[in-house]
């Protein structure tokens, strides 16, 4: 067994079943191993940001890592933006990056660069294989790091991939289990019982089905309100879950939202922080005179902490039905489309058990306000703020959950970052419906420009926000995706229902007025 075959075999043995790849010359042994070693599905992405974003979406839905196969430092660099998003989402992932042959690297070939410098910025674990003798142990360590919930990046020189190895009997260490800090749990209980009006801000596993219902049991016993981060990695949402509120993006609104609470308890997440620093506004959304507590372990420990709190406050085994959301879709709007109406139509039509990947940016505000009453669904969002996550993440989610409808509610500017995802969706015949909010503008930049005091931008500033000239129908069709453009509420409703009733990918341009 050569090094490449051992690497693929080890990943498959650990339960990693999908490899999102954009390989090159230095990864040819690994490409060959994808054929010679059974059990790994290989999915080609035409851009490395598609591969890393798809691996992120896959892992968020599958609950286990995918593998990426990337070409040298520049290829890894192309994938870094969505690796940043995955790091913020605490997504498990195994990146395998080819490196020049060890004997060739000292001559400084054109594609040579410091891959470890890049890997360290987004990886919980990274290592370059230094010898065929260490390849077995390095591979097992990389896979173990991914299984334990982090991004692991293994850099594999080309000649070591070809080399026959003998050290193939290395076992996996047990998966780490983080303990619950009972002191922090006791402090949380004390705040809930004595601090007055409390807010629970939930993240990670606390936003799972079990987590939300456990939080509802706490709510049934103690009067408190539930919130989630502006951009959650994965949120179960809809009728039958407790009402849970999104922390607003704008710092003035977020500060006002959390201002009434005497205490803020964060479980599975941190104290919310403003996206950017604004003069005269604090970086955190919790004031100094408010009591705050953070219980933010990763993995299942956040869920364990939430369960222990519910038990200590003597919450019921089943939440009070009165605090759970009822099924109440928004009314169907009519007339010319705008962002608010598009969000309402999506909420009015999306089927039960859908997965909605939301990267609609400014056009999603109204959508978040009405989704508590939708049939149960899963929401994935832009955890790290690096745009271009939506199309790629939707691709990975569709591979993880082939029997569930995937809807990518997508801004036009950010879609262009990983638009090659459409090609992969068509090639793999994935059930992804992409809704392009086509306002032909970087509206978020217009908003920030106005907030900076520039209310009358000049010609150059206007050019920095203008996205006119993109033909979304031709762009989708050129990659094999059935595509259509609509500009009315009635047209959006008709085309969305049609797309959801058919197999394979679809693109609907929402030409917003």
Domain contains 242? yes
Domain contains 328? no
List pLDDT tens digits, range 296-343: 777 678 899 999 999 999 999 999 999 999 999 999 999 999 999 999
Q: Which one of 271, 288, 323 terminates a domain?
A: 323
| 395, 68 contact by CB (below 8 A) | no
* Average pLDDT of span 205-224: 96
User: Based on the domain organization, do 217 and 122 belong to the same domain?
Assistant: no
CA–CA dist 26, 262 (Å, integer) = 57
CATH for 211: 3.40.50.1220
List pLDDT tens digits, range 151-197: 999 999 999 999 998 766 677 767 777 788 889 999 999 999 999 99
| 257, 191 contact by CB (below 8 A) | no
Which residue bears the tokens 């974003």? Answer: 53
User: Based on the domain organization, do 41 and 134 belong to the same domain?
Assistant: yes
CA–CA dist 202, 229 (Å, integer) = 7
Say what the pLDDT of residue 170 is.
Answer: 72
User: Based on the domain organization, do 379 and 487 belong to the same domain?
Assistant: yes
CATH for 95: 3.40.50.970
User: Based on the domain organization, do 224 and 313 belong to the same domain?
Assistant: yes
Domain contains 379? yes
Which residues on adjacent β-strands are paired with residue 473?
Answer: none
Which residue bears the tokens 């780490």? Answer: 176
* Average pLDDT of span 348-368: 94
Say what the pLDDT of residue 168 is.
Answer: 66
Domain contains 390? yes
User: Based on the domain organization, do 138 and 191 belong to the same domain?
Assistant: no
Say what the pLDDT of residue 173 is.
Answer: 67
Alpha-carbon distance values, 92 to 123, 150, 151, 200, 375 (Å): 10, 5, 5, 26, 29
Q: Dihedral, CA atoms, 72, 19, 96, 233, nearest 10 degrees?
A: 100
Q: Range of 259's domain? A: 182-323
Token code pair at residue 500: 């959801």
List pLDDT tens digits, range 89-137: 999 999 999 999 999 999 999 999 999 999 999 999 999 999 999 999 9
Domain contains 130? yes
User: Based on the domain organization, do 377 and 467 belong to the same domain?
Assistant: yes
- Is the C-alpha dihedral spanning 282, 286, 287, 293 positive or negative? negative
CA–CA dist 178, 205 (Å, integer) = 13
* Average pLDDT of span 340-350: 97
User: Based on the domain organization, do 386 and 503 belong to the same domain?
Assistant: yes
Q: Is pLDDT of 505 > 70?
A: yes
CA–CA dist 508, 441 (Å, integer) = 17
User: Based on the domain organization, do 305 and 356 belong to the same domain?
Assistant: no
Say what the pLDDT of residue 177 is.
Answer: 74
List pLDDT tens digits, range 66-96: 999 999 999 999 999 999 999 999 999 999 9
CA–CA dist 365, 438 (Å, integer) = 15
Q: Which one of 265, 292, 323 terminates a domain?
A: 323
Say what the pLDDT of residue 167 is.
Answer: 67
Q: Is pLDDT of 376 > 80?
A: yes
As a whole number of Å, the end-to-end CA separation of the chain is 60
Selection from 299, 58, 269 nearest residue 175 by Cα? 299
Which residues on adjacent β-strands are paired with residue 152?
Answer: 94, 125
Q: Is pLDDT of 255 > 80?
A: yes
CA–CA dist 283, 275 (Å, integer) = 8
User: Based on the domain organization, do 310 and 362 belong to the same domain?
Assistant: no
Domain contains 136? yes
Domain contains 334? no
Banded pLDDT at 466 (limits 50, 70, 90)? confident
User: Based on the domain organization, do 111 and 250 belong to the same domain?
Assistant: no
User: Based on the domain organization, do 262 and 125 belong to the same domain?
Assistant: no
Q: Which one of 323, 355, 382 terminates a domain?
A: 323
User: Based on the domain organization, do 69 and 121 belong to the same domain?
Assistant: yes
Averaged confidence pLDDT in the chain: 94
Which residue bears the tokens 């953070």? Answer: 294
- Domains in the chain, number: 3
User: Whats the size of the chain, residue-wise?
Assistant: 513
% the chain with pLDDT above 70: 99
Domain contains 248? yes
% the chain with pLDDT above 90: 87
Say what the pLDDT of residue 73 is.
Answer: 98
């Amino acid at each position: 067994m050569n090094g490449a075959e051992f690497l693929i075999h080890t990943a498959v043995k650990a339960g990693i079943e999908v490899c999102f790849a954009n390989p090159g010359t230095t990864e040819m042994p690994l490409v060959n191993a994808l054929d010679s070693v059974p059990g790994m599905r290989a999915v080609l992405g035409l851009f490395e940001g598609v591969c890393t974003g798809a691996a992120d979406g896959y892992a968020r839905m599958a609950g286990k890592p995918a593998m990426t196969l990337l070409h040298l430092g520049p290829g890894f660099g192309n994938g870094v933006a969505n690796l940043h998003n995955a790091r913020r989402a605490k997504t498990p992932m195994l990146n395998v990056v080819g490196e020049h042959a060890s004997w060739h690297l000292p001559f400084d070939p054109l594609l040579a660069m410091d891959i470890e410098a890049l890997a360290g910025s987004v990886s919980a674990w990274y290592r370059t294989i230094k010898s065929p003798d260490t390849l077995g142990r390095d591979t097992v360590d990389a896979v173990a790091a991914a299984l334990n919930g982090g991004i692991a990046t293994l850099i594999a020189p080309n000649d070591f991939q070809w080399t026959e190895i003998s050290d193939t009997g290395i076992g996996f260490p047990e998966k780490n289990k983080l303990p619950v800090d009972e002191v922090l749990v006791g402090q949380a209980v004390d705040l809930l019982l004595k601090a007055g009006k409390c807010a629970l801000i939930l993240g990670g596993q606390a936003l799972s089905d079990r987590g939300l219902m456990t939080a509802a049991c706490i709510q049934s016993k103690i009067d408190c309100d539930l919130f989630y981060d502006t951009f959650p990695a994965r949120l179960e949402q809809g009728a039958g879950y407790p009402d849970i509120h999104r922390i607003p993006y704008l710092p003035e609104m977020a500060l006002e939202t959390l201002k009434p609470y005497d205490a803020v308890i964060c479980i599975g997440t941190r104290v919310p922080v403003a996206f950017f620093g604004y003069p005269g506004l604090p970086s955190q959304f919790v004031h100094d005179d408010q009591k705050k507590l953070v219980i933010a372990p990763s993995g299942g420990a956040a869920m364990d902490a939430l369960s222990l709190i519910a038990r200590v406050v003597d919450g019921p085994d089943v939440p009070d039905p009165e605090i759970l959301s009822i099924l109440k879709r928004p009314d169907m709007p009519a007339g010319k489309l705008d962002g608010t109406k598009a969000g309402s139509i999506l909420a009015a039509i999306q089927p039960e058990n859908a997965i909605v990947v939301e990267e609609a940016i400014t056009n999603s505000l109204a959508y978040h306000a009405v989704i508590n009453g939708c049939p149960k669904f899963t929401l994935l969002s832009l955890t790290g703020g690096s745009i271009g996550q939506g199309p790629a993440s939707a691709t990975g989610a569709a591979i993880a959950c082939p029997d569930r409808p995937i809807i990518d509610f997508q801004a036009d500017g950010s879609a262009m970052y990983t638009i090659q995802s459409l090609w992969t969706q068509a090639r793999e015949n994935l059930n992804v419906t992409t809704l392009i909010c086509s306002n032909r503008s970087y509206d978020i930049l217009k908003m920030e420009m106005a907030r900076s005091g520039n209310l009358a931008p000049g010609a150059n500033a206007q050019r920095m926000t203008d996205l006119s000239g993109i033909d979304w129908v031709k762009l989708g069709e050129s990659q094999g995706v059935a595509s259509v453009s609509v500009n009315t509420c009635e047209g959006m409703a008709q085309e969305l229902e049609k797309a959801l009733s058919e197999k394979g990918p679809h693109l609907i341009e929402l030409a917003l007025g």
